[in-house]
Amino acid sequence: MIQLHEFTHVLDDFFQLEKIGPDPAFKRFIPMVYDPISYPWKERFAPRFTQLFNGLMVQGEEQIHTIFLAVFPTHDVLQRFIDAGEPGDLLFMHHPLVMECGDPRGRWGRGFVPIDEIYIQQIKDKGLSIYTCHVPLDVHPQVSTSLAIAESLSASIAGSFCATEHGAFGYIANIPACSTDDLIREACALFQIPYADFEGPQHDRVDKVAIIAGCGDKVAWMKEAESKGAKAYLTGEIHCHVDNDYGRTRYRQMMEYVADTSMSLIGVSHAASEYLVMKTQIKRWFEEEFPVQIQLLPQRPWWL
């Protein structure tokens, strides 16, 4: 086991939470979803989390025996954590909110959704903890959502795209040559999804791919990747299937780009694309670094 304060110190330092500062996304989205329902999130979540929007979100008992790994705090994930966790155990996630991105073959999503208060209360009552790491995990130069995909594809990094002051979100990578169809089949097997979302042309030979986990459905990012020689673009979401004006506008913009792109565009779901780092790099690092048990909590279903 490990003490909670020791665990959080190691992670805070490794992911440079203070240097990165307030998470660029969730400093907006946490208030956006909780304020309209008058939920006192500043009182319910750990004080430092309400400033950085990363790190220890819910503080439980001090001794951690098992760390659970997940991406989104869906009802199913939280219930399994509550049922299996013992006082002191911790849930490490990429997101502090559920994001319903929609199903390309089914229902469109609602976007960001708050955690049901009943789950937060049950987690607190049982002495469990939650730690989330969003942008710091996306841009870390050693352990990241996109690097985990490149590693699993046996890819060699040739460059980056979607760069920020904190680091790059996406990578241009050389992969063993294959067809678009072969790459889709490999992605479905790797991410354990029933089907992929797809747009654009199909190629007989793909040897350079742009990789960006999560919502890669931004035309500017795709154009940058294409300009750097990528023949395929592998991401969580190639389309925004959020059922509102924003989502429909983004969808139209993407379809305009699709008509002209030379890249094969492949989406494997937001959650599945970011879960891969949990079951590979994060799990491996935690097992080497901390004397605890690791338990994976894959999302069901991936397309949400």
- Indicate yes or no: pTM above 0.75: yes
Contacts of 113 (CB under 8 A, 6+ apart): 33, 97, 98, 99, 100
Task: Supply the pLDDT for residue 287.
Answer: 97
Q: Cis ω on the peptide bond leading into residue 96 (within 30° of 0)?
A: no
Q: Which CATH architecture has domain 2-135+273-296?
A: 3-Layer(aba) Sandwich (3.40)
Q: In the structure, what pLDDT confidence band is assigned to residue 74 with cuts at 50, 70 and 90?
A: very high
Q: In Å, how far are 140, 141, 288, 296 from 293, measured between CA atoms?
A: 24, 26, 11, 10
Question: Would you place residue 200 in the very low, low, confident or very high pLDDT band (cuts 50, 70, 90)?
Answer: very high
pLDDT at 264: 98
Inter-residue contact 48 to 126 (CB < 8 Å): no
Q: Phi/psi of residue 55, each to 5°? A: 95, -155
pLDDT in tens, 5-24: 999 999 999 999 999 999 99
Is 33 in contact with 112 (CB distance < 8 Å)? Answer: yes
pLDDT at 20: 97
Average pLDDT, the chain: 97
Helix (H, G, I), strand (E, B) or coil at 192: coil
Assign residue 209 a region: left if phi > 0, alpha if psi is -120 to 50, beta otherwise?
beta
88 close to 62: Cβ distance less than 8 angstroms: yes
Q: What is the pLDDT of residue 227?
A: 98
Boundaries of every domain in the chain = 2-135+273-296, 138-270
The C-alpha atoms of residue 22 and residue 136 are separated, in whole angstroms, by 10
Contact (Cβ atoms closer than 8 angstroms) between residue 222 and residue 265: yes
Share of the chain above pLDDT 70, in %: 100
Alpha-carbon Rg for the chain, nearest whole angstrom, is: 19
Q: In the predicted model, what is the mean pLDDT of residues 177-200?
A: 98
CATH class of the structural domain 138-270 = alpha beta
